[in-house]
Structure 1
Amino acid sequence: MTTSNATLVIGATGTTGRRVTAGLIAAGYRVKAAGRSATPVPGAQPVRFDWNEPATWGEALDGVDRVYLVPPIGSSDPGAAMLPFLRQARAAGVHRAVLLSSSAIPAGGPAVGRVHEELPGLFEEWAVLRPSWFMQNFAASTPHGRSIRDEGAIMSASDDGRVGFIDAEDIAAVAVRALTDDQAPDTDLILTGPQTLSYAEVAATIAEATGQPVVHRKLTFEELRDRWAAEIPLEFATMLAGMDRAIAGGAEDRTTDTVERLTGRPPGTFRSFVEREVA
């Protein structure tokens, strides 16, 4: 299928953005692939976009009627940049917006929760994707990926709490449907994988698949906060450590049928992910 207008994918080379871009192109949709360096993406029109540079917004929005929103990375107050952009997007003719948020952040909550709260009042058609923790957090150059490779350990303050880890491939598949279906979801969607796992079970799965020793090392809230704060602002590090503490309390011990309901196929397993992207 083709449309006269394009879909703007913000963060088009990121974990979900590149998969959303690929999915839209495969389905025949025009895509403007937005990023800070306008990196060429096969089949898409690259465009420079920076949340902190409003001068880049106009060109990105030209000819666009829907947008996939990835919040600015590492910001504890993404609404400061996102809400002015979204008002400009509405004025420019965007009528559908799909926002990537988190299962840990409700409407009106911290960080992107404020954007979630205001999205229904800004657009005729909308969806907020609230995925659980990404399986991709354990791959490549992520903090967990580095600690697995360098220290043979996953560090968390989640204790024995369980998480319905989800594959970014499944998040992107839901995003494509939310962007292109005749009727937008007009709601928030909790996205999980097919099972919940503790970090100890995650470590054991990775160890088995890779043949390398990997363990879960339990940290306190303060220890994890300080570990994150060595790489990111303290306020954001505190928020992330707080999410781990919530996992320990059972906040993420759930699964949903959202992926299968919207895409027609079950979400991928953690073992399949590890064999594909870690081992």
Structure 2
Amino acid sequence: MQNRPILVIGATGKTGRRVASRLEARDIAVRRGSRNSDIPFDWEAPDTLGPALTGVRAAYVTYFPDLAFPGAVNKLESLCETARDVGVEHLVLLSGRGEHHARLGEDVVRASGVDFTIVRAAWFAQNFSEGYLRDPILAGVLPMPGGDIAEPIIDIEDIADVAVAALTEDGHSGELYEVTGPRLMTFAEMAAALSQATGREIRHLPISFEDFHANVAQAGGDFVADVFTSIARETLDGRNAHITDGVMRALGRPPRDFADFAHAVARAGAWTSAA
């Protein structure tokens, strides 16, 4: 039964493409779940769930853009029911740290009747290099609300490693891995680390949540901005200002430091205008 593929939902996304690549590097069959796949997967098209899940051994489950989006938890429940009905053996859910709706999604997976692992992640370091903050970093600023709130920001290479371990190894059944980086950092400290890595000044620009909403709306529209601003208001209140041992428990090694991430990504050219 081990030759059955693993479905990677969101296989073109930040974590999904890394999970899929790691699995394929181990010669594990992967079914890449996206709207344009040979066997398409689309959260907005319920009739794609059954075909995408049929015949797979396990699934890595991400909801783009976030489990806080209206209807996301209900769609996740439908996916879990379908997974159970077609015989999927294991679900690995990517969840968000400190988010109410993400906790509701976790509860759905726990109650699904399918074996599971939950990876509850801190704020992504790659938001600076691949996400909506890349352009401001190129301009020399890091505009974020939250004041001096500290976050244990995580390199999503670690998230991918944890997810692959959960998908391929014994010993992860029923586990909740709350994954963070190895230290707390304010956004000003992150800006200083980015400055050192890039060799040019990057300045933290404290902004209001209203300004944050306006910035996100420019890139993704008001609806996306509403949800992301709600998440920022919810999570940038100090509730996540502690580190956890999820990476160590899952992998037997500490998480990567943000400074190491920044230097590696800078060397790879992520913060050059042509990247």
TM > 0.5 = yes
Q: TM-score if structure 1 supplies the norm length?
A: 0.87
Cα gap change, 1:212/1:76 in structure 2, threshold over 3 Å: closer, same or farther?
farther
Secondary structure of the residue aligned to 1:47 is coil
For the pair 1:145 / 2:137, whether they are aligned, the reply is no
Aligned to 2:273: none
For structure 1, the residue ranges without an aligned partner over 5 or more in a row are 39-45
Alignment of 1:1-279 (within 5 A): 3-38=2-37, 47-73=39-65, 75-105=69-99, 109-110=100-101, 112-140=102-130, 142-149=131-138, 151-232=139-220, 234=222, 236-246=224-234, 248-279=236-267
Counterpart amino acid of residue 66 in structure 1:
A
For residues 254 and 50 of structure 1, the distance between their equivalents in structure 2, rounded to whole angstroms, comes to 35
Deviations 1:217-264 (A, max 9, x none): 111122222332333454543443344345553222111121122112
Contact 1:96 1:123 in 2 (8 A): no
Q: Match of 1:15, as an amino acid?
A: K
Query: Alignment RMSD, CA only?
Result: 2.0
CA–CA distance in 2 between the matches of 1:248 and 1:175? Answer: 25
SS at match of 1:170: helix
1:62-98 residue CA offsets vs partner (Å, 9 max, x unmatched): 2112110010325343123222122111101012111
DSSP 3-state at the match of 2:57: strand
Q: How many residues align?
A: 265
CA contact (8 A) 1:147 1:154 kept: yes
SS in 1 for 2:92: strand
- Distance in structure 1 (CA, Å) of the matches to 2:172 and 2:81: 19
Distance in 1, matches of 2:197 and 2:171, equals: 41
Q: What is the alpha-carbon distance in structure 2 between the residues aligned to residue 7 and residue 216 of structure 1?
A: 41
In the alignment, the residues of structure 2 paired with residue 274 and residue 167 of structure 1 have an alpha-carbon distance, to the nearest angstrom, of 9
Out of 21-30 and 229-238, give the one that drifted further: 229-238
Task: Tell me the alpha carbon deviations over residues 182-202 of structure 1, each in whole angstroms, 9 at most, x when there is no partner.
Answer: 233413221001111111011
SS in structure 1 opposite 2:118?
strand
Q: Which amino acid aligns with 2:4?
A: N
Partner residue of 2:271? none
Distance in 1 (CA, whole Å) between partners of 2:162 and 2:247 is: 6
Give the Cα–Cα distance (whole angstroms) in 1 for the partners of residues 93 and 137 of structure 2. 30
Percent identity of paired positions between Structure 1 and Structure 2: 32
Q: Which blocks of at least 5 consecutive residues in structure 2 are unaligned? A: 268-275
CA distance in 1, matches of 2:249, 2:77: 30
Task: Give 3-state SS (helix, strand or coil) of 1:101's partner.
Answer: strand
